[in-house]
Structure 1
Amino acid sequence: MKNFLAVLLLFCMALSVMACGGAKNGQDSTTEPSGTSEASKDDTGGSSEEGAKDNLADIIPKDTITLDVYTQLANYSGEQIGWFGQVIKEKFNVKLNIINEGEGTFATRMESGNLGDIVVFGNDSDEYLQAINAGLLLDWEEDNLLQDYGAYIKENMQKALEKNKKISPDGKLYGFGHNVGSSSSEHEAFFYRPDIRWDLYKKLGYPEVNTLEDFVDLLEKMVQLEPTSDTGGKTYGVSLFPDWDGNMVMMVKATGALYGYDEFGFGLYNVNTQTYEDALKKDGMYLRALKFYNQLYQRGLLDPDSMTQTYDEMIEKYKTGAAFFNIFDWMASGVYNNDDHLDKGKAMMPLAANDQKNLCYGLNINGGNRVWTIGAKTNYPELCMAIINWLSTPEGTMVSFYGPKGVTWDYDDQGRPYLTELGEATQKDGETQMTNGYSGTFNDGTNKINNTTWSKDAVNPEASNGDTYNSNRWETRLSRPVKEIEQDWRNFTGALDVNEYLEKNGYISISIGTSYSEPPKSDELTFKWNQVAETIKTYSWKAIYAKNDDEFESIVEEMIQKANDYGYQQCVEFQQEQARIRTSLENESKQ
């Protein structure tokens, strides 16, 4: 009888728990989202797309909650502010607490057993795989989470989801990579290209530039023409910064992109020949670019603060005309070409040397390596999925890039996307104040998660004319008249924009999008890798500041010797094998 009563008591307790709503992950069903109800499911046991929309209303919290977003890509920490924060609150009644990647952050959060609610990884190898193995990421297919609250992702990003399952150690689905492409036959817009001060180039009579090295003489003449910046400081050919250095000095290795080289471990991958070239190869691309920046330094054309200044300090110099050459569009024309400069007949515009093959990336329907995931310990799995799903819709994508719909962008009566007057202003100057009830400047409110869902050059299915998400290529913008100095560039190149200019002149190399993902390294190799990376970065900067050619060569020789002592060859062998895998996947994509 005692045993019977005990069993009866347990049965009654179980019924009581079920009646309270069966909240998952420890959430209280009276205050937290309760998950998918039986009423929302279709006859197959899953949820229809319409049902998923109905479910969304059920999971919006009555009281504003805060979600922790741990993102390894963020340059910001704290509550998401400004217009993006307001849009998220309006749609989901949620505040986002951004947690960026500081020293030891990942290890600390792993040790705590809770990475956050929404988790964004900077790559899909080492730490991402560690998080899966530790059980700290949510399986998106568990309890029909993706089907019920990620319907747009499920329907439109199938290849990216398949890639994620393939690289997962247990074959489960934990998210998808960034920059998903709409078609494997298209490529992204060029952002690697040499921007120069076009007004000064015009004054010099448009001299021919045959090679990278020819820019040195050209920049010297430009500095002679304009020796002071807007603020009265000295001008230089180039200004660099160390903040983004990884395995190598970032600005040095990225210069290889002007010749079709993509960073690949300790070296560069030539996307035209499909061959790997280690960074320290004599007469290789990395050392060629290193010599280029040293030549600028020897001529007094390299900003002497390059090795110590921050990214923001460097950007300010390009913004005020203190440097005349950069290999990234957003660091050069993107910040210099404001209305004031353009009205004065000044602009930074692209000029390719005759031997260049500028790298651009083919759209990758498999997605990139920066992964959107959900933490396993979140109390709000449905809400996290719904937010990521919305960010993957055309509206969410456009909002992330340009701001609130109807305020900074919209569709015209023909269904073509366009920027409003405010939108145009914010794209020219991120410090433009927002209006229509949105606080702060445009830059204040940008999406601090700092990751994308769709590639900016993917086709926007809501654009009636087939435009992509990239506003620089919108029909409504290319058809507008431009400033006199911009028209001069168009007349010289015979092109409306940089994409047309580089494509029609054959200055193009396309990195084919594949499902390649770098595997984790052994602890022993990781130790060697880190020592080699520090050596290459340290000695590369020393070589840039070499006072003459003999000193440059001596520093390079010492760099090679020390790197080899730390195990450089083992790192190269690892990367050579990865190159073979990458090439194989590229060849499969061509078929």
Structure 2
Amino acid sequence: MSKNKKSARESVLVSLAGLLVVSVALTGCSSGSDNTSSSDKSSDTGTSTSATQATGTIDHSKPLTITVFDNAANYQGEQTGWYGKIIKDKFNITLNILAPQVAGDQLYKTRTAAGDLGDLVIVDNSQLEELIPAGLVMDLTDQLKNTKYLSQYVDKHFKPFNAAFDKVNPEGKIYALPTFEADTSPTTFSEELPYSSPIMPWDYYKGVGAPKLNNLNDLLNVLKQMQEKYPKTPDGKPIVPITLWKDWDGGGMENVRWLSGWYGYQQPDGTSTIQLNAKGDIVPLIDDNSMYKKILQFFFDANQQGLVDPDSPTQDWNKVAEKLTNKQVLLLWYSWQTGFYNTIERGKNGDGNVSVPIADTHIIQNSDAYYGSGRVFAIGSKAKDPDRIMEFLDWLNSPEGLRYYTAGFEGFNYEKTTDGKFKLTEVGQTAFQNNTPVPDEYGGGGYQDGQSKLNTMIMSDFVVDPDTKEFYNTNYWSSTIEANKTALKTDWQKAFNATNATDYYQKNNMIDIVPNINTSLGSDSSDVKNKRSQISDYVKNTSWKMVFAKDQAEFDQLWTKMQKDVVGLGWNDVVAVDTERAQKIVKMRADATATK
């Protein structure tokens, strides 16, 4: 499973390429299917039956390579493997992915300056606000009318989102399609596990007595005990209590940002200097009472006790993913991270990563991404054959396309049951973790290697499959829920007297679920953009120094110096912009709650 520096900000899922959102006693990872109802079947040419194709106006005889500029991707190059074969066979299309996560942020500046970002672009909301007036993305309003699947979401999802960009889109045209949209409601949270919360290996936690955790100090103590009792994996790999990584960092340390949410404060997308709670209180990152400082102190304390992975300053996310797959990390904090190790078979033996609540936490959790999650799909204004690109996007949102992305392919990852629903196969339960070899007829290679490298969706897996009447998310199939009644899950349920982690936090008044707001917050002026960039670099670098400071005195000195230095870099100007944006979010949350 893979995630990049910004996909962590995608409220749900975030999910991953072939993204998987995982529950407490999770199954294997996933990615879509070719099983469709008769009305969705491909034509004799092997292409999809979107409305545009049905008119006979699209010629698939010539190979088409689509250049995809993709902020969500962790991979750069040609999409190969089983997913690449599907796209080639159906559309005669090859995806060539350009990934800023791999090539660097300068890629965006270089390509926009040249006037051609790509044929298909997946960018952040703030970038879309720049691309519309620059004429670098197409107006999709008319094209969407001819689609079979996307057209059903135009009025409910696409129009309201694009209308929010009124300063650069006064006519309310549709230039972009938000990512990871759930078709539930603006205030619903569907998942069994909050996006970020304390998660640990159940067997190791029980092995040290499963002590109640009242605060972060208790967490450090139990991590120390587990480290001493379980220093290595069965095959001799070192186990680390906490592992950190730099390559997702934005306005500060991304790892710090998400642990701040355990204590009720988020850093809203589109900002880099503030944190916001469910009540609407706004606190600057560098405030002495900020949750950002509290979590920096936690990581510093952990390092002082020898609990932080020494690889942290130099490793990237891919290295962390390897460690998660090998069960080499004791503390996880993203829901989807459990999918790197948890399987049904392991769960039967009581083995897997589960939620372990800390009594003094009060989590802030965004609802399902009904409005989208901070990124968009758009078609570049100089795109080669935009009709074929739109046909491809429409297929991505067909039952067939969504199944391929979220569940893999029928006969390998899952099979149909007698009641017309789906069930993961034994191979499908572990195909991601094991990178299981794929039969040549499906494209060959490893399953994980061949997953969609787009690493994002338009509609999410929290949309109901019309054929099964269940979410596309494999974890919420009735068959998976039944299979997940393992020793791991039932033992956890008995210990915490709750059905799942979300249920526990709600029963104990330890979570605030807020509407997931996805909108245009405005783009920075060139002056603010420069100031924000300098401040972000300074805060990131100083934060890492603080975590690895030699003692508390150095930690405090670095913090005090940062508070003073960022003011000279224009801190007050950037905070003013971010505060205004946060206030817009507060108002929109109130409006969404009032109209639910």
State whether TM-score is above 0.5.
Answer: yes
**C-alpha contact 1:230 1:322 (8 A) present in aligned 2:** no
Cα distance in 2 for partners of 1:96, 1:325 equals: 36
Residue 240 of structure 2, aligned match among 224, 236, 243: 236
After TM superposition, the structure 1 = structure 2 runs for residues 68-107 of structure 1, keeping only pairs within 5 Å, are 68-101=67-100, 102-103=103-104, 104-107=106-109
What's the CA shift for 1:212? 2.8
**8 A contact 1:188–1:361 mirrored in 2:** no
Report the secondary structure of 1:95's partner residue.
Answer: strand
Q: Work out which of the residue numbers 112, 115, 128 in structure 2 matches 1:113.
A: 115
Contact 1:515 1:585 in 2 (8 A): no
CA contact (8 A) 1:69 1:119 kept: yes
Aligned residue runs from structure 1 range 371-410, under 5 A: 371-410=376-415
Q: Please list the CA deviations of residues 393-445 of structure 1 after superposition, one character each: whole Å capped at 9, or x if unmatched.
A: 23212211222244323543323332233322224x15112237121111111
Return 5+ residue gaps in structure 1 as ranges. 1-48
Is the Cα–Cα contact under 8 Å of residues 140 and 173 in structure 1 kept in the other structure? yes
Residues 309-324 of structure 1: pairs in structure 2 closer than 5 A? 309-324=315-330
Cross-structure match for 2:482: 479
Cα distance 1:387–1:208, how it changes in 2: closer, same or farther (>3 A)? same
Q: Which SS does the other structure have where 1:330 is aligned? A: helix
Could you tell me whether the CA contact under 8 Å between 2:274 and 2:575 is conserved in 1? no
Find the counterpart in structure 1 of residue 453 from structure 2.
448
The answer for the alignment partner of 1:159 in structure 2 is 156
Q: How far did residue 582 of structure 1 move?
A: 0.8
Normalised by the length of structure 1, the TM-score is: 0.85
- State the match for 1:146 in structure 2: 144
- The root-mean-square deviation of aligned C-alpha atoms, in Å, is 2.3
Amino acid at match of 2:155: Q
Matched residue type, 1:546: A
- Residue type matched to 1:155 in 2? Q
Query: Are residues 269 and 411 of structure 1, via their aligned partners in 2, closer, same or farther at CA, if it must alter by over 3 Å?
Result: farther
Offset from partner CA, 1:180-226 (integer Å, 9 cap, x none) = 12122422422312111211221222211112332011111111111
Distance (Å, rounded) in 1 between the aligned partners of 2:486 and 2:503 = 19
Preserved CA contact (<8 Å) 1:410 1:420? yes
Who is 1:292 aligned against? Answer: 298
Aligned to 1:26: none
Cα offsets for 1:277-312 (capped at 9, x unmatched): 211111210000000000100111111221111112
Deviation at 1:513, TM superposition (A): 2.4
- Structure 1 match to 2:423: 418
- Number of paired residues? 533
Residue 559 (str. 1) matches residue 556 (str. 2): no
Partner of 1:223: 227
Change (3 A) 1:287 1:326: same
In structure 2, how many angstroms separate the alpha carbons of the residues matched to 1:64 and 1:352?
53
Task: Mark the CA change 1:430 to 1:446 in structure 2 (over 3 Å): closer, same or farther.
Answer: farther
Q: Which amino acid is 1:147 matched to? A: K
Question: Higher relative contact order at CA 8 Å, sep ≥6: structure 1 or structure 2?
Answer: 2
Output aligned runs, 1:150-189, within 5 Å.
Answer: 150-162=147-159, 163-167=161-165, 169-170=168-169, 171=171, 172-182=173-183, 183-189=185-191
Instruction: Identify the residue that residue 193 of structure 1 maps to in structure 2.
Output: 197
SS in 2 for 1:327: coil
Q: How does 1:515-554 map to 2 (within 5 A)?
A: 515-554=518-557
Q: Which residue of 1 aligns with 2:125?
A: 124
Q: Secondary structure at the match of 1:492?
A: helix
**1:20 aligned partner:** none
Deviation at 1:341, TM superposition (A): 6.0
- Whether the 8 Å CA contact 1:139–1:173 is kept in 2: the answer is yes
For structure 2, the 5+ residue unaligned runs are 1-48
After TM superposition, give the deviation of residue 324 of structure 1 in Å: 0.7
CA distance in structure 1 between the aligned counterparts of 2:346 and 2:182, rounded to whole angstroms: 35
In the TM superposition, residue 529 of structure 1 has moved relative to its aligned partner by: 0.8
Determine if contact 2:242/2:309 at 8 Å carries over to the other structure. Answer: yes
Shift of 1:325: 0.6
| CA deviation map 1:227-258 (0-9, x unaligned) | 22345344332011111011000101110122
Percent identity between matched residues is: 27
Query: Is 1:358 equivalent to 2:363 in the alignment?
Result: yes
In structure 2, the CA distance between the partners of 1:557 and 1:320, relative to structure 1 (3 Å rule), is same
Taking the aligned partners of 2:234 and 2:274, their CA distance within structure 1 comes to: 37
Q: Aligned partners of 2:237, 2:411: CA distance in 1, in Å?
A: 41
Aligned-partner Cα distance in 2 for 1:306–1:411: 43
Whole-angstrom distance in 1 between the partners of 2:389 and 2:144 = 11
